[in-house]
Structure 1
Amino acid sequence: MAKNPETLIRAFGMSALQISDEMNGVSKSTGFDLGLNGAFRRKRQLEDYDQFEKEIRNQASMMSEYYEIFYCLEISIRRLVSQTMMEATGQNWWTSARVPPGVSTEVAARKKKELDSGFDLRSEHDIDYTTFGELSTLITSNWDLFEPIFSSKSAVSTILNRLNVLRGPIAHCCEMSDDEKLRLELTVRDWFRTIS
């Protein structure tokens, strides 16, 4: 008995989807790009450094995912702080009384050290020189501005302090344990949950 052509086409499509999913799984588990996303990815510069052991290159590639998380999170927190302070105090908010002296002093020292090194300054904005701890201080010492944004002052402080600790292995080129990866994922979720 011949099957309906529409049924055969549907079955073929489902089989193709299943094969594609399995190939994506193989690609992820082996780290080998099968070009399933429409185009082969651009060659990464790290691949040109055969002098480094393959194991080290693989670790670096795996850890880059966690660097991306921190990069996005840190930039978005800085933008949130900067926007909120600018709306309340104006364009020159960094020089206002709302920035605790300890924070501005540390940032000035970092900028001077960077300038004295002969390298390009990373940014023209002082907020870009702050640590998670200093971002926490900026938020909690200006709680009247941030209270409408966050559900709890103490949660913000706790989460940013946790992120500061979790950032260490990434900033200092150490591999994160599975527990720390999970802790990072949960802490990022906590951060977004604390935003009202």
Structure 2
Amino acid sequence: MLPIEDFSSSIRSSAMASLPAYLAFFCLENAVRELINDRLSELHGAEWWDVKASSALRKKVEDRRDKEGANRWHVARGAHAIYYTDFGDLRSLLQNNWPDFEDLFPDQNWVLSRIGELELSRNVIAHSNTLDEREMIRIRLYLQDWIKQVG
């Protein structure tokens, strides 16, 4: 799809080694967004964002949407405000609305600590760097835990 053969072999090799982590984080981050959106919509209605997201987060997302609106030539992130959040913002949404999620997880620390730890690795991958095998194992284990816990 892309002419990666024009890049050095070390860049291509690093890209291919990072691909599994990128795919894992793409799936996980969007699964967490989907879980939050579905659960809060179910419990608080389609307009949950206006009452369940903090004012600071709503402002951050509004600013991102405004900036994106100025660049209409570029594809939009998603229809719902939650697609303008960072991974760490998802952790905050879970924490700030814990009563709506407590039946899904063993305890609050279980999910918040995993998301916090994964965010460190996610940021490495998101900024086009590589992870070592130890971090790849952690990601794999935490993703398996997530799937077993919430499906």
Same fold (TM over 0.5): yes
- Which letter maps to 1:188? L
Tell me the equivalent position of 2:48.
93
Quote the Cα distance in structure 1 between the aligned partners of 2:110 and 2:86: 17
Quote the Cα distance in structure 2 between the aligned partners of 1:50 and 1:80: 38
Quote the Cα distance in structure 1 between the aligned partners of 2:56 and 2:134: 34
The answer for unaligned runs of 5 or more in structure 1 is: 1-44
Quote the Cα distance in structure 2 between the aligned partners of 1:137 and 1:57: 35
Q: CA RMSD in A?
A: 1.9
Q: Which has the higher helix share?
A: 2
Displacement of 1:49: 3.2
What is the number of residues matched between the two proteins?
A: 150
Displacement of 1:185: 2.0
Tell me the equivalent position of 1:114.
68
Tell me the equivalent position of 2:6.
51
Tell me the equivalent position of 2:120.
165
Tell me the equivalent position of 2:32.
77
- How much identity, in percent, do the aligned residues show? 30
Out of 146, 149, 164, the position equivalent to 2:104 is 149
- Which letter maps to 1:110? R
Displacement of 1:190: 4.0
Out of 110, 120, 132, the position equivalent to 1:177 is 132
Quote the Cα distance in structure 2 between the aligned partners of 1:135 and 1:53: 36
- Bigger Cα Rg: 1
The answer for unaligned runs of 5 or more in structure 2 is: none
Asked if structure 2 preserves the Cα contact closer than 8 Å seen for 1:162 and 1:187, the reply is no
- Which letter maps to 2:78? S
